[in-house]
Amino acid sequence: VQLVESGGGLVQAGGSLRLSCAASGTSFSINVMGWYRQAPGKQRELVATITSGRSTNFADSVKGRFTISRDNIKNTVYLQMNSLKPEDTAVYYCYALRPPSYAYWGQGTQVTVSS
């Protein structure tokens, strides 16, 4: 499975960005797709995930500001990030999980929020 991310960049605090991640290279359904992030000097952390049934899970730090959605036909997941804060600055990694328990990661896309 290959994951190709797009949509990162530089934005001012309070602004918005939309990340996209397209999965290819598999005929298996992908159970879970989502996003993690890693800031300099910190561990990678969960941002949000969404199942094929569209159940979602969010980190407390992004609840109410970020939304996640997916297109199961296109195997694409989207992360809409609103009201961005400088502490959201990180490399954002797309994540996919397919049966039985194979996990895949994208190459990462930089999100920088200036104050």
Weakest-pLDDT range from 26-35, 69-78, 82-91:
26-35
Cα–Cα distance, 112 to 89 (Å, whole number) = 5
Weakest-pLDDT range from 16-20, 22-26, 58-62, 75-79:
22-26
pLDDT band with cut points at 50, 70 and 90 for residue 99: confident
pLDDT band with cut points at 50, 70 and 90 for residue 21: very high
pLDDT more than 70, % of the chain: 99
pLDDT band with cut points at 50, 70 and 90 for residue 114: very high
Cα–Cα distance, 25 to 19 (Å, whole number) = 20
Q: Evaluate if residue 53 carries a pLDDT over 90.
A: yes
